Structure formats: C-alpha cells, structure tokens
A and B are shown apart, each in its own frame.
Chain A
C-alpha cells in the first residue's frame, strides 16, 4: 500500500511534466526563425545586404581579368593568365542561369506575407519592392545572356508524388521577360520612394534606370536582330523579338530616362574645371549626384583590389601585381579631339615618316577629357607623380630609325639619359603595360589602396547619369527625335571638355562611339555590341582587323645627335606579342548555351540557336 502511494506520486510527476508543453517548446539559439527574421527590420536589412551583394554582372564590379577579355584592353599581368589574350569565346561564354537566387527572392517575398505581423504596411511594401527590383535585375541579366528564360515568380514545391513534370517551367518568349521587367518596375517604383535618399538601395530612380536600360536593350534587339541577313531566332520566340515592338520599347526607355533627367535629384558630375580630372573624380567621389545606384565598399568591412591589380607599375605600394589590365590603342584613338576631329593619333606623316614630338604627351594634346580620366598615357601623372613611360630609344642609323630597348626598366642609354621608363611599356613582359597605356578609371589614389593589406574602397556604379543621358539619346534618336538626342549627347560631351553643341549632325555611329568612351570598363561594351548585332563584325577573329586585335603604341626617344629631332619623341604602333588571338565572336555567342544538366532536368526547355 505504501508502495502504491509512492508510485502514484512518481507517476503524477510525469503526468504534470508532460502537461507543460510550453516548457519544452524553446526557440533554438543557433537558428533565426522565420518569425524572428520577418518581424525585425534589422535582420531583414542584413538579409537584403546579402541579396544586393549578389546582384549579377558579367565582368563588372572590378573584375580585372574578365574585363581584359571583353573590353578594349588586354591582360598584361602574370604569364599564367595569358590565356585571356589567347582564347575563343566558347559556346557557354557568359552563361548565367541563377534560379537559386530567384528562389531565394521568391521565398522571401512569400515569407514576408506569411510571417510579418509587426511591420507596418509601408515597411513591408518597401522590402517587397526592393526584392522585386533585385528579381527584375536578375531576370534582366539572364535575358541579356540567355534569351527568354523560364519565368518563375513563386516557389516551386515538389509534392513527392513521383512525377515532377508539373515543376518543369518552359522558357518564356524573349519579349515576355522584357515585358515582365517593365511591368514589375512600373508597379514597384512608387513603393521605393522611401529609399530616394539612398544610392546603395533601390529607389524610384534606380527602378527607372533599370527600366531605361532594359527597354533600350529590348528596342535595339527588336530592331537590329531583324536587320540581320538571317536574324537569330527560335520558332517559339524564346529568342528573337518581333520588329514591330521596337518603337514601343524605345519609347518606354525614353520616358524612363526623361523622368530621371528631369527629376533634379541627379546631375552630370561637373565640379572640377579640369575636365579630365573631373571625369576621374566623378567615379571616385562617393555621394556625387552622378551616381544613381552603386555597390559600395568600405575599408573596415569589404574591399576590392582593383587598384592593386591595375595601378601604374612604379607607383604601386605592394611588392607584386600591378599593371594587369592595360587599355588598347584602339580605345585611346576612339576618344575624339576637342576640335571635333576624329581621334586617330598622328604618329606618321602621309609619306610614312615618323612625326617627332617635343614632349611625350604632345601627341595626346587636345583629346577628349575622358581620355585622361580613363587611361594613364605616357607623360601624364598618377597620384600627382609623373609616370615614367618610354619604350626605348630610336637611334638613327643608315637612313632609318632602329628601336633599341633597355635590358632593365629604368635603365639609362649611352647618352646618360633615360632608355626605357620604369613603367615600360615593354613587350612580352608581365606586370608592366604591353600596350603603352595603364588604367586610371576606378583605380584609387587613396593611400594604401594598391596594397593587398589595405585595398580600395571606391564604389562600383551600377547606374549613373552618363549612361542615362546616352540611353536617352539613343532612344530619342531611334524614335526620330534627332534634336532631343543631340542635346543629350552634347551635354555628355560638354562635361568631357568639348565646346557647347559640339555635334551638329548626330548619327548612330556617334552615339555608339560615345557609349564606348564614356562607359568603357563599366560592363557595357560587350552587351552593346551584342544588342546592336555588330559583335560578330567588330570581333571577326581576323588578325588584320583593327577592332578584333588589341594594339599598342610605344613611345621612343630619338637619338640623332646634331639633328633637330634629337631627343624628341616618335611613336610606333605595334601588336603586343602577348596578344595572341584576335577576338572572335560567332553567331553562337549572341546567346549562350544552356547547361546540359539543366536541359536534362527540364526537357521542356528548347536549346538556343547554334547550340
């Protein structure tokens, strides 16, 4: 009997313990739950930071190596990476298929609705609009590279029925993706107003800037693809936009650009009377009204090594690296002269004799200010330090110049004057320019920026006014509004040091060249050439092509005692030895191939043309 009592007491403990479920129910200490996340603005923001960080680009965001493959430049860095000067665009070049990211965004959008109870409607709408902006940005990157892709805007959840066929989303038409981007951005732009003070989170104008760019792409694809002798298309429209849509797209792009230009919130950066320095500062001075949307870097948190990679050789603060991305002569020549003449440099007379210059910079006199702002050329300075650029000496012997190059950079010639500069240029060498030019754009002058220990914190411009003006110009020109377009182009040129109204008759070629020089190395050139459908003509793979081959310009000091040209400078055009293979863009590269594993998993996907 006594035992029975003890047992029943013990049993009653268990019964009571089981009853208290709250006690067992505890939040995990190492996992943030959805309820916590979606009710805490700070946690949501740090999640957003991750998503903003994952915004895709082809070879943007300070990707030195990638830029040397598709921009007007070559690789002068380590010899091990010389394949960048010796490769062919493969079928998968530029492939981008990131449904992992799309799912993350779709999941977040659904979770806000499901779990957020403490956020105000305004807060929720802002976060959702930002997520939808990022999703539109990702879809734009995909459609640029792959054509129409499956349009997935909700989570795809498997029901374990053994048949996943209902999850296989076929590809949308190419224009459907562009239309999706447009309608998304139109819907969210007013929800983003709360961010209008920010340059690193999406706001109304960021949405409009993406709209301006995406609609311009769609318009030019509709127009120029159909002007090809055999347009690139698929029967289902996954690739190929009907020509009659072009006008509408151009108009949409123009309207978006006009709204930004007329908003008064942003302006072309024009603070420094020295137009060259002004152009350089425009991208380096954070917070300037030029930049609409940027990816920011901060020494204490997140840095990049673009300065370490590309700073002028003798000015680097590190013991390795430097000089990796070196701009081409072709780019330098695409900058016009301020008097309106074409930018071809005058290195030789009509009879083939060299033109001697008193100073090494004289040949670059009176060039578009953006040349100084983008490229370090012989005789100029970086960080207020003069660069030491001279390929060698040109000795007059037996009626012609013989080019002699010093065995060591910075060596002196027999006449005790400079032989080859500390910064080269030197052919077939690493970590010194092989073209005769260095990068200035994006290369930070800040102390320590070129060391690996400190690195750089200048930001990457996703969208800036220079582009918006040129987007507006191109869209207006395509709409037949030549006067309006000319105004935009002239504004951009005036900022670069040209006189007011420097262009009187605008052509498409001028607009294209403006984009090339204004937006060099900003992840535009490759896609511009693609959407104008001229990439296969510009990069035709021919060694005789001026455009497909990266050329260099080497300055030499004349050694000809007693002659009036003695100690003057002459310039020699050359093809760098390290640039091995002319760029060759095939029809197949207009749209990248889809990964075979993706095709295997989803048999409803059609393959891109030429793949």
Chain B
C-alpha cells in the first residue's frame, strides 16, 4: 500500500511538472529579417563584429533594443517574431547615423529589407594585381559627405576572408595627402616575407573618416600569388 502511494505521488508529480511546462512555453521566433547594408545598390563592407543596427518594437511597456550584427560583407540576418519593428541606424558605423528618421519594417515570414546608408567615404573600382612579390592596388576614394575629413586609408592583407583593421596579417597605410577623392590612386608594395609563400591572400581596402572610428571596407578579394 505504501509503495502504491509513493508511486502514485511520483506519477502525480510527473504529471504536474509535465503539465505545467505548457504554461511558459513560447514558440521560438519563426520569422527572419535579412538584407544588405548598401549605398546606391552596392553593399557596404564593414569590420566583422563591428557596427550594429538596433531593432525596437512598440506596444510594450518595457523596451529593449535587439542588436543587429552585420557581417563583413554588409549582409545581416535576424530571427524575430512576426510584427512591426523599427530599425535604427546608430552612430558608430562608417556612415551617417540616422537617429531621427526611423525605418519601419514589417516582418512576416522571411522578409528581406536592404538598409540604405550614406557612408562618409566609399572606395570604387578596387583592383589588385600581383607581380612576383609586388602587390599593386588601384582604387578610387569618393567623398560622399562633403564635410567629412579623410583620416586614414589602409590596404589590408590577410590569410582569411575576415580581414580588417583589427584582424589582419599585414596592413599598409597610404598617406591621405596622396589621395585625391574622385581620382584613381595606385599603390605598389612588397608582400611581406611571412605572407609571400601563401598560395593566396585576401585583400581589402579601408577608409576612415574623422567622424567615425569604423572603416568603410571594400569586399574581401581573393588574390592568387
């Protein structure tokens, strides 16, 4: 009899625990918002783990931002619940912040939303050629925001695709005095010894304005050595 009661108790406890699980179960977010950060149709390269956007949702008492991380090639993707969100382009990126004009995004199922930003500078037509151990890079820096000051321009070499100011195997600084916005710049330099024996390298060019501490990057380009 005693055994029977204790079994019954166990059974009841299990049933209670299993039953109560339903109460605080929520479905996982089932919608996806994804897109590209772009300027005039061209995606904007950023530092991996660098600039972020923020998503906010109205209609609740308490608010907290949902961070949107941007991949190095300018794409992003977030898992969300369906609904209407506000997307904010914060300061801190290589672009002009848009704090007052909030972008309203309706997320339903898989939603694609490209975020148009205004970078302070862009780099057009990056081209790289390798001649034995010399790398030649040609590019055009464009000033998009008239008041922006050009702080620094670098060419980055890396063994992996995620190459940027913080993570690289070699960085070549180019004096900003030598660069005229809108005109093509060509620089050549020796590939450093420790990288010369690699089969290929990833090359990126970055430009930073005085208004931000993030660089605008070209897309990672694979260069065969």
Q: What residues make up the interface of A, taking CB atoms closer than 8 Å to B?
A: 88, 228-230, 536, 540-544, 581-582, 584, 586-588, 596-597, 599-600, 609-611
Contacts and interface: CB of A to CB of B under 8 A. Distances in A.
Contact of A536 (B149, B168, B213): B213
Given A229-B211, A543-B167, A544-B171, 18 more contacts: A229-B149, A229-B210, A230-B210, A536-B213, A540-B165, A541-B165, A541-B166, A543-B166, A543-B168, A581-B166, A584-B166, A586-B92, A586-B214, A587-B212, A596-B65, A609-B91, A610-B90, A610-B91
B129 interface: no
B2 interface: no
Contact of B92 (A540, A543, A581, A587): A587
B216 to A, nearest CB: 15
B61 interface: yes
B3 interface: no
A608 to B, nearest CB: 10
A587 B91 contact: yes
A543 B65 CA distance: 31
Interface string B191-225: 00000000000000000011111100000000000
B62 A600 contact: yes
Interface residues of B, number: 22
Contacts of A229: 149, 151, 209-211
Nearest to B52: A91
Contacts of A586: 92, 213-214
A600 B61 contact: yes
Nearest to A587: B213
Nearest to A596: B64
B214 to A, nearest CB: 8
A600 B61 CA distance: 8
B91 A582 contact: no
Interface string B152-180: 00000000000001111001000000000
A227 B151 CA distance: 14
A582 B166 contact: yes
Contacts of B211: 229-230
A596 B62 CA distance: 9
Contact of A597 (B62, B91, B151): B62
B167 A600 contact: no
Contacts of B168: 543
B40 interface: no
Contacts of A587: 91-92, 212-213
Given A596-B63, A600-B63, A542 B165 contact: yes
List the 7 shortest-distance A-B pairs measured between CB atoms, nearest first: A229-B210, A541-B166, A230-B211, A596-B64, A610-B91, A610-B92, A600-B62
Contacts of A541: 165-166
Contacts of B64: 596, 600
Nearest to B50: A586
Nearest to A600: B62
Given A586-B92, A609-B91, A542 B210 contact: no
Most buried by A among B149, B171, B213: B213
Contacts of A228: 210
A598 to B, nearest CB: 11
A52 B212 CA distance: 40
Interface string B78-95: 000000000000111000
Nearest to B90: A610
Contacts of B210: 228-230
